[in-house]
Amino acid sequence: MSQFDEGAVADDQRRKLDQIRLTGITATGYHGVFEHERREGQTFVADVVVHLDTRRAAARDDLAHTLNYGELAVQVSAVLSGEPVDLIETVAERIAATVLAHALVQAVDVSVHKPQAPIEVPFGDVVVAIRRDRTKLPAAEPYTARSAAGAEAAAPAPGGPVPAGPAPATVAPAGPTPTAALPAVPAPTPAAPLAPTAGVDNPSGPVIVAPAPRGALPDGVAARPVDGEVVVDAFDRTPDAPVDVVLALGSNLGAPQDTLRRAVSDLGAIPGVQVVDVSPLARTAPVGGPEQPDFLNAVVLARTVLSARDLLRATQAVEQAHGRERHEHWGPRTLDVDIIVYGGLTAVADDLEVPHPRAHERAFVLQPWAQVAPDAVLPGLGGGPVAVLAATAPDRDGVRWLALDWLTAPTTPADPAGDVQPA
């Protein structure tokens, strides 16, 4: 059974949602940090609890209005037996993303069991259990037939050789329970503006790090994590070529238009960042938080050779240069700079999530973005054509006006009554 209790998920009207439960989905997979796990495979089991409203399907007796749990079971099995990864945490995230790709689903509980885990003491099971929903999206992409075809080519046959290509880094167990440690990568060095820099081939894929360079270790000593090594995730990877990024700027304290002008200039002055285009300026009502003045918002399209985390540090430095202080969630601020999109990367960490988890429902980001890039598409779950999302965003009526030439001309002073006409 699932490791979650039967605690229900409520819809936006606080009504308990219905559940579809799939338990004991079993497949042979090749996940794990040890070479023998990748070579020989083992049994993995998944339990899935889907939270949705089944009334419409029941009233019409129509499968089109509910989840086809037969198809879902096949997809979950395909994830279990598919592309090998180090961690069952990753497997659980992929299953959750696959379930949430169905528009009817509001939330999902996923438990992944590894009953044959290589543990040196007697044990019953190892389980990773997660809950994901529309506000806490999975840190992985959903299963697709195309990704499954690639995984089938990459997965070893039972008893067969390990797939050709870069071998996983050797990880020595630090104790009775193995841990999925990541190999080391040198910290990225500052890049010259828009000059391609060395990096990984697939910055949005799973974290795989090359072994230490030849000669870095004495002969006969295997590469393994040690104290002091730099362990990185996808956000630390320096791209091979410039990456398109979208930044959202906002300000409602001091002289907001002047602040945003200077911020655009400051962003363009960051080594490794090139500003490509700047949206019209939007005056928008605050969303959430305490009572406060209207915001001025803009979107900057840029290209960068910085890693996502280096770009985050650089944008935070720009915020701090303009007196940004983070005292109150959704409170007033002199400057806010958010990374909305970093290429096609979809990933989550404690300090950064891309695409921005609320971008799909924020008109003050979507409307200016659609003005400067009408064909833009927001990637990830909840994404889609930016112009369509802008037209349906819940706060779309809060966008007061747009000013086109704001970088060189003053805008109309903000009217507290909100009666200013479009510039």
Other CB atoms within 10 A of residue 14 CB:
6
- Which residues is 28 bridged to in the sheet? 43
Half-sphere exposure of 353 (CA within 13 A, CB side): 14
Query: What is the largest distance, in Å, between two alpha-carbon atoms of the chain?
Result: 75
Q: What is the pLDDT, as a whole number, of residue 254?
A: 86
Q: What is the amino acid identity at position 72? A: L
In a domain, 234, yes or no: no
Which DSSP category does 1 fall into? -
Which DSSP category does 231 fall into? B
Residues 149 and 247 placed together within one structural domain of the fold: no
Q: What is the pLDDT, as a whole number, of residue 80?
A: 96
Which DSSP category does 101 fall into? T
pTM: 0.48
Given 120, 154, 188, the domain boundary residue is 154
In a domain, 267, yes or no: yes
Q: Is the separation of the CB atoms in 61 and 14 below 8 Å?
A: no
Q: What is the pLDDT, as a whole number, of residue 104?
A: 85
Q: Is the separation of the CB atoms in 322 and 335 below 8 Å?
A: yes
Q: What is the pLDDT, as a whole number, of residue 224?
A: 43
Q: Is the separation of the CB atoms in 71 and 112 below 8 Å?
A: no
> C-alpha angle with apex 261: 257 to 263, nearest 5 degrees?
115
Residues 248 and 393 placed together within one structural domain of the fold: yes
pLDDT digits (tens, 9 = 90+) for 5-41: 456 788 766 788 999 999 999 999 999 999 999 999 9
What are the φ/ψ torsions at residue 111 (nearest 5 degrees)? Answer: -120, 125
Q: What is the extent of the structural domain holding 309?
A: 243-403
Residues 141 and 268 placed together within one structural domain of the fold: no
Give, rounded to a whole angstrom, the gap between the first and last alpha carbons of the chain: 60
The tens place of each residue's pLDDT in the chain, 423 residues long, gives: 444 445 678 876 678 899 999 999 999 999 999 999 999 999 999 999 999 989 888 888 888 889 999 999 999 999 999 999 999 999 999 999 999 888 888 899 999 999 999 999 999 999 999 999 888 888 888 887 655 555 555 455 444 444 443 333 333 333 333 333 333 333 333 333 443 333 333 333 333 333 333 333 344 444 444 344 344 578 999 999 999 999 999 998 889 999 999 999 999 999 999 999 999 999 988 876 667 888 899 999 999 999 999 999 999 999 999 987 655 555 678 899 999 999 999 888 878 999 998 899 899 999 999 999 999 999 987 889 999 999 998 888 888 888 888 987 665 544 433 333 333
Residues 256 and 373 placed together within one structural domain of the fold: yes
Q: Is the separation of the CB atoms in 276 and 225 below 8 Å?
A: no
Total domains present in the chain: 2
Residues 30 and 130 placed together within one structural domain of the fold: yes
Question: Distance between CA 77 and CA 69 in Å, rounded?
Answer: 12
Given 154, 183, 201, the domain boundary residue is 154
> Pairing between strand 107-113 and 243-251?
unpaired
Active site residue 114: yes
Question: Distance between CA 24 and CA 46 in Å, rounded?
Answer: 6
Q: What is the pLDDT, as a whole number, of residue 206?
A: 35
Given 130, 154, 178, the domain boundary residue is 154
Residues 150 and 247 placed together within one structural domain of the fold: no
Question: Distance between CA 355 and CA 379 in Å, rounded?
Answer: 7
Residues 252 and 397 placed together within one structural domain of the fold: yes
In a domain, 286, yes or no: yes
In a domain, 171, yes or no: no
Question: Distance between CA 278 and CA 189 in Å, rounded?
Answer: 28
Q: Is the dihedral of CA 9, 12, 17, 21 positive or negative?
A: negative
In a domain, 46, yes or no: yes
Annotated catalytic residue within 31, 94, 114, 362: 114
In a domain, 207, yes or no: no
Q: Is the separation of the CB atoms in 355 and 331 below 8 Å?
A: no
Residues 368 and 264 placed together within one structural domain of the fold: yes
In a domain, 5, yes or no: no
Residues in the chain: 423
CATH number at residue 137: 3.30.1130.10
Q: What is the pLDDT, as a whole number, of residue 56?
A: 82
Token readout for 394 is 């819940």
CATH number at residue 375: 3.30.70.560
Residues 256 and 378 placed together within one structural domain of the fold: yes
In a domain, 280, yes or no: yes
